Every structure is written in C-alpha cells, then in structure tokens.
Chain A
Amino acid sequence: MDIFTSMKVGASALKAQRMRLNTISSNLANVETTSTPEGGPYKKKNVVFRPVGTAFEKQLDSNLKGAVQGVQVQRISADERAPRMVYDPAHPDADPQGYVAMPNINVMDEIVDMMSATSAYEANVTVVQSAKRMALKALEIGK
C-alpha cells in the first residue's frame, strides 16, 4: 500500500484541470478571432476527461483495483457548432452579404466553465493537503 497513491490521484486531477483552464483561456482569448490558419473563424475547444487507473494499479490491493482512478485529458476536440453570423460589412472578413462568421464561443459558458475548473482544482489541492497531513501524522507514531 503506497501512502502516496491519493497524492498521485490528486496530482493527476490538478494537471487535468489546469489543462482545462488553459483551453478555456484560449477560447476566451479567441472570442473575436475571425480568421485562423486552417481557414474560417476560431472553433471553440472542448476538453474530454477520462479516468485512468493503470499507473497506480500495481501498488493497490486487489480489492481496490478499479476503484482508485486518476483522471487524464483524453483529447481536446474542436466544437463543430456553426459560427455566429454577425452583420458587419466594414469587417475585412465579411462575406458579400456583409456577414462575418464569428467563433462559436459563448463568453458566459466559458466563465461558468472557468469557475467550475477553479473549484475542482481547489478541491484537489485539499485532497493533496489532506493526504500529506495523514502521512505526517503516521510519521509521528512512536515519537
């Protein structure tokens, strides 16, 4: 039984949530980006999480196998929803009818997502702190 397992699980989640926050900040930064190297407006990026257990399983008792899983970003995918069409004939990327294709990003959605990522990050910091305290308390035995 490894005393660091819960710390590792927490650390994997911190990494995943940080990646999610990076993606959200990229979405927010590009909320007005109308032309990208791939052509067309910027597309919103979504992070997909998946549980991952293999790295810890070796150290776990057989009855815990599968119950203790870290988390990992499986992929970052582009949101294929249609772009927002905004009427702005003066814009250099406007089509002949005067409409500009803007990124399919809703700022409110991103802010809500950002708050959710922040609180998830904080929860996992608490997990790591608590694991650390438990390990230190165990070290005090017999002092």
Chain B
Amino acid sequence: MSTLGIFDKTGQLLQKVMDLRQQNQDVIASNIANAQTPGYAPARLQFEDALAGAVGRDGQGMATTHPQHLPVGGGLDQVQGKVMRTPDRSGLGDGNNVNLDQEMIGLAENQILFEAAAQMLNKKMGLLKYAAQDGR
C-alpha cells in the first residue's frame, strides 16, 4: 500500500481482512460443494489470531540483514491464513465430515464480516473525499 500518511494502518488492516475473508469464502464454498463427496475432510482457514497479533506490532518487526531471512514478528503483509483439515474419525458413513448447517453459518458470518470491512473502508474513503473537497 501507499506510503502516504492518508492511507494509514486501519486501511491496510481492512484491506488485509477483505483479502483473507475472500480466501475464507473460497474454502467454505469448497466445503459446501463437497458436502456429499465420500471421504472429503472439510478445511478451515485460520487467520484471526495471526491478524490480531500483527496489528499490535506492525513496523516493529526484527530487522533482517539478508533478503532471504524470514522476517520475525512481521507486519500485516506477512499474515497468512493457515489451512486446517478435520478428517472424519467416527468410522460411520462414507468418511465425509462436512456439516452443511455449520458451513452455511460460516458462509453467512464470513460474508457479513467481509461487507463490514468493505463498508468501513468505504467510510474512510468518504472521509478522505470530504476532506479533499474542502468539506463540500
């Protein structure tokens, strides 16, 4: 994102949230599509904790002395979702572990949180516009 001061950390955070929610939507869509595929283990994208951790320490990551060093305690850019799968261990049925109702709730929740981030970004832009147009 721009290094200009007007696009601050909140903007970056919202952008990252939308990016991750988009990925999460793909993962949930995949689970719902495969709700009746034998042996399919549903996937979860976990990123909330990593994101919350990155918010507090953005820009205070450890300095790297070589381009190939992994950044330690890096900022928002480094936050990535982690895919977790939960295989069926019940031994009943066809080994498919998808709960359609739970996935639908996850879908709705993810969509609302995505839209919330989009709306907040919109409001921020609106404020910038208002300031740029001299309050008109």
A and B from one assembly? yes
- Does A9 contact B36, Cβ atoms closer than 8 Å? no
Provide the main secondary structure of the chain A interface.
helix
Query: Which residues of B from 21 to 71 have beta carbons under 8 Å from A?
Result: 21-23, 25-30, 32-38, 40, 43, 45
Q: How many A-B residue pairs have CB under 8 A?
A: 116
User: How many residues in B have their beta carbons less than 8 Å from beta carbons of A?
Assistant: 39
A70 to chain B, nearest CB (A): 6
Asked whether, in the complex, the Cβ of A127 is within 8 Å of the Cβ of B33, the reply is: yes
Q: A28 to B32, alpha carbons, bound, how many Å?
A: 26
A60 & B26 in contact (Cβ 8 Å cutoff): yes
A10 and B122 form a contact (CB under 8 A): no
Residue of A nearest to B107 (CB): A130
- Provide the residues of chain A in CB contact with B18, threshold 8 Å: 138
Q: Are A68 and B104 in contact (CB under 8 A)?
A: no
Contact A131 B118 (CB under 8 A): no
**A123-B80 contact given A6-B26, A133-B111, CB 8 Å threshold:** no
Given A1-B22, A6-B25, A68-B26: A123 touches B104 (CB 8 Å cut-off): yes
Q: Report whether A133 and B115 are in contact in the complex, using a CB–CB cutoff of 8 Å.
A: yes
26 A–B contacts from the bound complex (CB under 8 Å): A5-B26, A5-B29, A9-B29, A10-B29, A10-B32, A13-B32, A13-B33, A13-B34, A61-B23, A63-B83, A64-B27, A64-B45, A67-B83, A67-B85, A68-B30, A69-B30, A69-B40, A123-B35, A127-B32, A127-B33, A127-B107, A134-B22, A134-B111, A137-B118, A137-B119, A138-B118
4 smallest A-B Cβ distances: which pairs?
A13-B33, A6-B29, A9-B29, A67-B43
